[in-house]
Structure 1
Amino acid sequence: MPKLTASKPERLFSSAKPSKKDYKVYDQNGLYLLVRSSGVTVWQVSYTFKSKRNTFTIGNFGRAVGCCSLAQARMKALEVKAMAKSGVDPNQEKNSLLQEEMALTENCFETIAREWHSKGTWVKKHAANILRSLESDVFPDLGDKLVTDIKKKDIITLLDKVEARGALDVAKRISQRIQSIFDYAEYKGLCDYNPATNTAKYIKSVETRHRSYFKENEMGEYLYNLDQYQGRTFIRLGLELLAHTFLRPGELRQLLWEYVNFEAQQIVVPAIAMKMRNEHVVPLSQHCINILEEIQQKIRKSDWVFPSVISAHKPITDATLTRALRIMGYSGEDVVPHGFRHTASTILNTYGFNRDHIEKQLAHKDTNKIRAVYNHSDYLSERAKMMHWYSDHLTKLKLNHERQKK
């Protein structure tokens, strides 16, 4: 392309078209528009610093946000020339400013929070919920602030807003997460203290509402009604297995066949699939083995024990078991899938089973931190006997209800 040197109106620059090779359209005072073969157009200016010829990139041509018009590029070119004449290298100054901006960005609360989140070991769904809560309730107020500039008052103001809409439990969780993020920032040497410490203490307590569950005298009728369930067979079997193993609903629906050991009569759920991130061994009664064998015979082939109806490559959803209970006529006030854990714990404690064995079977974390460090027993043989007793007991409750109906 020919070398054009005269000062031109902006329309002549905007009409520059890409060619097979990059070329320049010159303006004045060393300013020119670099037209790349890709179609990108960039303002650059030549300047001399300490007898050496240099190039300073001003920015893309255009009127969009972040771009430069011809008039803006000419003004910047004059600034570059003046800076070089005063003994300051424009490119070095630009790099210094960029580094300062990067340092500020890296120390912003949102940047630190996302880095903290990326190092978490939560299950995928819980991790997504945590990030969503930060994006909706925290980042709008604190995201662009430096961690060193955030005061306790800023955090309390944010928590007051969440509390004002009645989301007390959300406010407490957000407080805990902000505190963890500042712990991480302090660990990295980005701040000297944690302004979120003790902020959760003054949030109103949430009224504890236990999940709905069946009492012992209601389980016989439930299991009898479950036998009459007209929906999909594997959903009925899933609800029955849930009652007998009292796994968490999420753990049950995401069971893989590779976790099931028929020979050892166990389900071994790996740590990554557990809420507490500890491997969990579930002894299986003969009744549970029968349920799993029936599922194998009647359900289409899949890696999942309870595959989705839509795709064998996915498990059933959270709502599947709940929906089945509602179809059976049970409301949320009657029972929820998680409630079978409450039922099992209540019955087993009532009949005098060892509390440690029950808590281990529920995969609960020992609240006594010192004891938790030293007690590594899994009580497997004791739990196996307990689980066999529990399955037999549930079967008796169902048979008793059947006899009463006759």
Structure 2
Amino acid sequence: MPRQAVPLTESQVRALEPRAARYSVADGNGLVIEVMTTGTKVWRFRYSLNGKRQPLATIGDYRMISLRVARARAQKYAELVAQGISPVATARRDRGAEAKADVLREAAELYMATEMAGKSDEYRRTTRRALDKDVLPAIGGLPVKSVTAEHVVAICDSIKSRGSPKMALHTRNVIKRLYEYLIARQLARANPAEVVPARSIATFESRTRVLSGDEIGATLHAIDTSSIRRPLKIALHLLALTMVRKSDLVESTWEEFDLEKASWRIPASRLKQDTDQLVYLPQQAVTLLRELHRARAATRFVFPSVRGGDRPIAKSTLNQAVKALGLDVEHFVLHDFRRTASVHLREMARHAQEDKSSAQTRQHARHVEATSAAAEARQIAQRWADFVDAQLDAARKSATRAS
């Protein structure tokens, strides 16, 4: 039997270098990529009709056709061949329909159709909004290679003049990611947004970001409906529910938890302080931890590294997961969950006229071990979790109505 081709990855295709003579690398199902001596890479389809090997059918230039799209084309052509039909005419029509990505507007459409195809709905929506609202009206008609840093600054300044410095920074980042993609596909030589410092667009004083109830719900709903691994979804939800520091959560071990008593004791040695830290767990957190415990892939760490070994996930893992979602929550970082909980709980206490609860709220937000106030601290933890659940439920209903 003929040897099966090992499927390629996008990074492997990008890494293919020209040689003295052109050569081809197979992906499988008839799809091959041919690397020319000039470095140009062209997708082709290898097939036979009536028992005879036919000339390769050209799918198109790699710079304008991603691996995912090329595979879809190869599958379509293979189905034609199975019916005894040559795919050459169809392939020619497909190539004619390809956008010539030398103008930014067309390059942006290629980017959205290929690179952004696997991203979350929310990420695609916020990227599309930035492109359609500010980028393409200003420079969409320019050749890709003619866009300069001055163009990027002008776009950002226009957005800032509307009183939206954070949106200006977001838009600069969209342009930066677009050009990173174009450079990888050899459609651009330089990134005009890379030389525009983020601090020159939007500078922020000390962190004071507090999420509104709607933003809490939208954030958790985006996490819940994303394609990231289930343990990471749970970790992000637990950060919102428990108000702990990110490092305290990702490095936690199962021996620290007593799920029967709904408590979590973080040892002083891990905190680099004199006393342990007691965290009272609301019912929602216990439910999530029990799910993790049933499916646990390691005996020690609650969030073990997928790379194996006796270690937890990296501290940057949750940040990277959130960044990949492209959340439509301006200037949000994971630490904002703690500040958000503290502010909302104080507001709840003020409305309920619970005179002594504000001190206990601050105590709990810092996770200092409670003494005589244990029962009330548990109530506060549960009250916060119920509030978070209500925001998430509202976001789910809103998304259902919108669809």
Specify if TM > 0.5.
no
Q: Report which of the two structures shows the higher radius of gyration computed on alpha carbons.
A: 1
Q: Which has the higher contact order (CA 8 A, sep 6+)?
A: 2
TM-score scaled by structure 2? 0.44
What TM-score, normalized to structure 1? 0.44
